[in-house]
Amino acid sequence: MEKFFAYQKDSRVPCKYGRKCFQTNKEHTDKYKHPPTKDDIEEDNKKTTRKRDSKGKVKSSNKTDGESSNSNHMNNPDEESFNSGEINDMEVPERPEQTISTSSSEPNSIPSTSNQQNSTEYTVPSMRHHSQQQQQLLFTNSTLEDCSIDDGIVPSTPTLFTPRRLDGETVSSPHVPSSNQIQRFTFVGESQPSQIPDLNDREQPDPPVQNVTDSDYLKTKISELFLVEEMPKEFYDLWSFCKRQSPSHPEDALLSVGLKLVGPYDVLAGHMNGFNANDVEKTVLHWRYYYDPPEFQTILASTGSEFHIGYFRDVPLGSPVFVVSNDSSENCVIKKLGKSLFKALRKHLHSMDSKEANTLQKKLLAYEIRKVTEVLEGRKCHPVTKTFHKAGIVVPYDSRTDIGYRPLSESEYCLQQILKSYLEASESKKMEAMDKLQPIINYANIASDECDFGTAFELGIDFFCNGNPDLHRICRQLLVTAYNLLRRPQFATIIKAHLNNRRKGPNMSIL
């Protein structure tokens, strides 16, 4: 029993896997203690037996190989359980202290042989009483976390103990719960009754999940619905200005000058709460006019015409490069208004030359001086060509190797004339006009195969700006291929949705 005594006196933490533990690294053995194995128990039982002397007192002596132990098993039933090998991993038997109690009051009286078994009792010393309190292992949060550092692998073999909760319910899995689901368990033997739960062992509620702020939610919502990067700071500055002018409906604060905050501003106003990322094919068309390419995002719309102001991006996951405007009732030309939304809006109000416009212009200037601190950075590289909408396109281009873009096989003027003749041609003569367009299309496809992606991009934008519905199929093929090769799949999604539902008119809202 010496190994059991050494195990009890060991100050290390008992290993939660008991004899089933297979870890032998020094860090684990230095931190956790393990109960003796069954072989150790059988070896100790062969060395030690209990016998009685001539006075009836119990004494220990070494067994001989040929000596039988049946009489000892009859007198010491606890020892039989040791030899049978049915010992729990979590419980370690203690050394019994033997005292002899008799019915006689005389201390020196010798009990009779017939009453010897009933009169003899094995009591537990104070150390045994203390170890019984430690047999029910309470795994607190700190204990489980410490064990999870070294014992990251749970053995697949079943343990000799059935884990139970303090309320008596059996735990279905022997695995240790995760740190965010840790509860206090009492592990007891199957033959032992569950203990009364302690008041301090009540189940603790999970910590509340930290909610994101409204601004973070709205920014994410805009990115999901419109497939663009986060809006610039001045975008939210204009919303704050309009909230001062019209706290209940900031989107209508500019109605006096014939303008309305639209597009992503409808997300801030709460008008698009019913849409989610699955409705992208609809939301990307929200206030998208007939000649708006995927790079154009409308944020201000006229209430009486098709004039609108928005941001222009060269890449979907990049910041806008400048503020632009367009009137789709006139043409496809995109006009640059500068790098500041406030300055562009004040410039537009100045051109109106009305009392309301002048008053609002002064308020915008005062607010801009006090609050607006950031403007757009602009383009970091020059466009490779202007295209029909005059805003230009930007693609990766290596001037040393001349890879990334090559001009079209026809000039801009000749291409416009061919497209015009195709639009005005009768059904019988459309094939002749298409015969002139087909070599230009083939040349752009060959350029894409040779890594000059900007060529097909330019031709697709020119077809889009031409506005002929008969060219939508070719336009879709050119632009979707170019956007995917340029790693701008968001723009590919936008152009496909737009060409499938291309509308004309002043009201481009989907609400």
Closest CA to 265 of 241, 289, 293: 241
Question: Catalytic one among 2, 42, 377, 450?
Answer: 450
342 secondary structure, DSSP code = H
> Is residue 449 within 8 Å of 485, Cβ to Cβ?
no
Would you call 377 a catalytic residue per the annotation? no
pLDDT band with cut points at 50, 70 and 90 for residue 29: confident
In this model, does residue 464 exceed pLDDT 80?
A: yes
Q: Tell me which of 351 and 174 has the higher pLDDT.
A: 351
**DSSP output for 21-46:** -----HHHHHHEE-PPPHHHHHHHHH
Give the DSSP H/E element, type plus range, for residue 302.
Answer: strand 296-302
| Amino acid identity, position 362 | K
Bigger pLDDT: 476 vs 96: 476
The confidence score (pLDDT) of residue 467 equals 95
Non-local CB neighbours of 171 within 8 Å, separated by 6+ positions: 162, 163, 164, 165, 185
What tokens were used for 412?
């801009």
Task: Write the pLDDT tens digit of every residue in 73-87.
Answer: 444 444 444 444 444
468, 477 contact by CB (below 8 A): no
- What is the arithmetic mean of pLDDT over 99-124? 41
pLDDT score for 15: 82
Beta partners for residue 97, in sequence order = 123
Q: Mean pLDDT over residues 222-227, rounded? A: 96
The backbone region for 44, taken as left when phi is positive above 0, alpha when psi lies in -120 to 50, beta otherwise, is alpha
Please name the helix (run of DSSP H) or strand (run of DSSP E) that holds residue 259, with its range, or none: strand 259-261
pLDDT value at 232 more than 70 = yes
Q: pLDDT, tens digit, for every residue of 336-370?
A: 999 999 999 999 999 998 899 999 999 999 999 99
| H helices present in 425-452, as ranges | 430-449
Closest CA to 137 of 48, 11, 14: 14
Burial class (CB in 10 A: 0-12, 13-18, 19+), 463: buried
Average pLDDT over residues 93-116: 42
Higher model confidence: residue 104 or residue 236? 236
Q: What is the DSSP letter of 155?
A: -
Q: What is the 3-state secondary structure (H, E, C) of 77-146?
A: HHHHHHHHCCCCCCCCCCCCEEEECCCCCCCCCCCCCCCHHHHEEEECCHHHHHHHHHHCEEECHHHHHH
Q: What is the pTM of this model?
A: 0.60
DSSP 55: T
H/E segment holding residue 322:
strand 322-327
pLDDT at res. 142: 39
Other CB atoms closer than 10 Å to residue 242's CB: what's the count? 20
Question: Of the ranges 37-46, 101-110, 213-222, 243-252, which is most confident?
Answer: 243-252
**What is the predicted pLDDT for the residue at 324?**
97
User: CA angle, corner 29, sides to 25 and 33, nearest 5?
Assistant: 150
Residue holding tokens 């009685």? 52
Per-residue pLDDT tens over the stretch 286-328: 999 999 999 999 999 999 999 999 999 999 999 999 999 999 9
Tens digit of each residue's pLDDT (9 = 90 or more) over 436-460: 999 999 999 999 999 999 999 999 9
Least reliable range by pLDDT among 69-78, 359-368, 372-381, 464-473: 69-78
- Res. 115: pLDDT tops 70: no
Name the residue with tokens 């059996």.
Answer: 170
Phi, psi for 359 (deg, rounded to 5)? -65, -45
Residue 28 pLDDT: 81
pLDDT-based confidence at residue 33 (cuts at 50, 70, 90): confident
Q: Where are the alpha helices (DSSP H) in 284-391?
A: 341-352, 355-371
Other C-beta atoms lying within 10 Å of the C-beta of residue 142: 9
Which residues are bridge partners to 302 per DSSP?
Answer: 259
Q: Where are the alpha helices (DSSP H) in 227-340?
A: 233-245, 265-268, 280-283
Alpha-carbon distance values, 410 to 79, 164, 385, 416, 446 (Å): 103, 82, 13, 10, 15
* Residue 20 confidence (pLDDT): 73
pLDDT one-digit tens code per residue, 390-422: 999 999 999 899 999 999 999 999 999 999 999
pLDDT tier for residue 45 given thresholds of 50, 70 and 90 = low
pLDDT for 41 equals 66
Q: How far apart are CA 79 and CA 384, in angstroms?
A: 93
For a pLDDT cut of 90, what percent of the chain falls above it? 54
What's the CA gap between 254 and 38, in Å, rounded? 87
Please report, for residues 80, 275, 303, the alpha-carbon distance to residue 118 in angstroms, rounded to integers and kept in the order given: 18, 83, 106
Q: What share of the chain is helix, strand, coil (3-state, %, to 5)?
A: 45, 10, 45
Count of H-run helices and E-run strands, the chain: 19, 14
Provide the 3-class DSSP secondary structure of residue 68: coil
Query: Of residues 379 and 181, which shows the higher confidence score?
Result: 379
Phi-psi region of 404 (alpha: psi -120 to 50; beta: other; left: phi over 0): left
Q: Where are the alpha helices (H) located in 182-294, listed in sequence order?
A: 214-226, 233-245, 265-268, 280-283
Name the 3-class secondary structure at 281: helix
Number of residues that make up the chain = 511
Q: Out of 194-203, 273-282, 329-338, 362-371, which region has the weakest mean confidence (pLDDT)?
A: 194-203
Report whether pLDDT(185) > 70. Answer: no
% of residues, the chain, pLDDT over 70: 65
**Confidence band, pLDDT 50/70/90 cuts, at residue 38:** low
Joined tokens for residue 115: 């009453």
Q: Place 31 in a pLDDT band, splitting at 50, 70 and 90.
A: confident
- Among 97-101, 383-387, 471-475, the least confident range: 97-101
For all residues of the chain together, what is the average pLDDT? 76
462 membership: H or E segment, kind and range: helix 453-466
Q: pLDDT digits over 15-26, tens only?
A: 877 777 777 777
Query: Cα(128)–Cα(134) distance, rounded to whole angstroms?
Result: 10
**Residue 358 in contact with residue 302, Cβ under 8 Å?**
no
